[in-house]
């Protein structure tokens, strides 16, 4: 058996936009945000002057924030005359298990992930709904603390190897817990008196609807998604967000319902009257 090589990113590149739409839709529902109109950010809560960028990463790689994009977001925040007072990053983590696959034509063993095995947009949504596990909502100052502590990397983006990125690992994120808040905030030089780490659970009921108005699915497609939410940000911002989201008391689970447009595969569609 030949040495296994990782060609997963080649097979899953075509789903990049689909994965992005899925997590942006989830974040908009969870944060009660709307699509942004100012710059290259994804979402915004205009009522409290908050810009939101959505990123996602699986268990095989770091979450990567391009340095130039981060600097653009910094230019948009800070209050008047900029459009936003604050900026946060919604970092979704999901499991993307890899298996070894023997290629008959190339006569070699490769690794194929769950996402790379998907055949349609609906398969991607189903895969992500089953495997997303956590959301980290980090203030831009926390991202800056990562940059200062760990530096930036070059060559981590396969399509743009010259682009610098701030890499955020899952092991690094898992250190942000309510019990470990004092230690981790002090490590990144974040003020213990004004910053907070909060954990909560959220249940999402996701209904997939056809993107094409003249088609419908042959059956009702719904997913139940349970996500652990960890928020790392200044206390005043959490209080402002709570006026919009109205979270449940500690120990209770927040519930959301959302509709997710999707292209209808031929084998699972029927024409409507």
pLDDT per residue over 91-148, tens digit each?
A: 999 998 877 777 666 667 777 788 888 888 888 999 999 999 999 999 999 999 999 9
Percent of the chain with pLDDT over 90: 46
Q: Where are the domains of the chain?
A: 5-204+226-258
> 45 pLDDT exceeds 70?
yes
**Tokens representing residue 177 in the block:** 């817990």
pLDDT of residue 79: 74
> 61 pLDDT exceeds 60?
yes
The band of 269, judged by pLDDT with boundaries at 50, 70 and 90, is low
| Terminal Cα distance for the chain, rounded | 55
CB burial string 124-163: b at 16+ within 10 A, e below: bbbbbbebbebbbbbbbbbbebbbeeeebeeebeeeeeeb
Neighbours of 79 (CB within 10 A): 10
Q: Which residues, other chains included, contact 228 with Cβ-Cβ below 8 Å and sequence gap of 6+?
A: 133, 134, 135, 199, 200, 201, 202
pLDDT, tens digit (0-9, with 9 covering 90-100), for 171-189 = 889 999 989 999 999 999 9
Residue 249 in 3-state DSSP?
Answer: coil
HSE-up of 87 (CA within 13 Å, CB side)? Answer: 27
Sheet containing strand 253-262, strands side by side: 34-35, 43-45, 50-58, 86-94, 132-139, 222-234, 195-210, 253-262
**Tokens representing residue 244 in the block:** 């919009």
The band of 270, judged by pLDDT with boundaries at 50, 70 and 90, is low
Give the span between the Cα atoms of 233 and 235, in whole angstroms. Answer: 6
The band of 38, judged by pLDDT with boundaries at 50, 70 and 90, is confident
The band of 266, judged by pLDDT with boundaries at 50, 70 and 90, is low
pLDDT, tens digit (0-9, with 9 covering 90-100), for 70-103 = 999 988 888 767 889 999 999 999 998 877 777 6
pLDDT of residue 105: 64
pLDDT of residue 267: 57
């Amino acid at each position: 058996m030949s040495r296994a090589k990782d060609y997963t990113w080649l097979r899953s590149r075509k789903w990049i936009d689909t994965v992005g739409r899925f997590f942006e839709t989830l974040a908009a529902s969870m944060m009660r945000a709307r699509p942004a109109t100012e710059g290259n950010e994804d979402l915004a809560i205009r009522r409290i002057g908050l810009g939101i960028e959505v990123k996602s990463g699986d268990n095989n790689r770091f979450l990567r924030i391009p340095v130039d994009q981060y600097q653009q977001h910094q230019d948009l925040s800070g209050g008047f005359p900029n459009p936003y007072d604050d900026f946060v990053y919604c970092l979704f983590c999901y499991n993307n298990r890899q298996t070894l696959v023997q290629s008959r034509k190339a006569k070699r063993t490769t690794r194929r992930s769950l996402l790379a095995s998907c055949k349609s947009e609906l398969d991607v949504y189903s895969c992500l709904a089953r495997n997303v596990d956590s959301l980290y909502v980090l203030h831009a100052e926390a991202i800056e603390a990562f940059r200062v502590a760990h530096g930036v990397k070059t060559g981590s983006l396969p399509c743009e190897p010259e682009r610098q990125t701030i890499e955020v690992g899952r092991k690094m994120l898992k250190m942000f817990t309510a019990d470990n808040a004092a230690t981790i905030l002090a490590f990144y030089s974040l003020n213990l008196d004004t910053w907070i780490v909060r954990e909560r659970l959220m249940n999402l009921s996701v209904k997939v609807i056809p993107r094409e108005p003249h088609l419908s699915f042959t059956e009702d497609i719904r997913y139940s998604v349970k996500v652990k939410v960890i928020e790392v940000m200044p206390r005043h911002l959490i209080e402002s967000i709570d006026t919009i989201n109205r979270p449940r008391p500690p120990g209770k689970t927040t519930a959301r319902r959302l509709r997710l447009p999707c292209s209808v595969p031929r084998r699972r569609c029927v024409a409507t009257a």
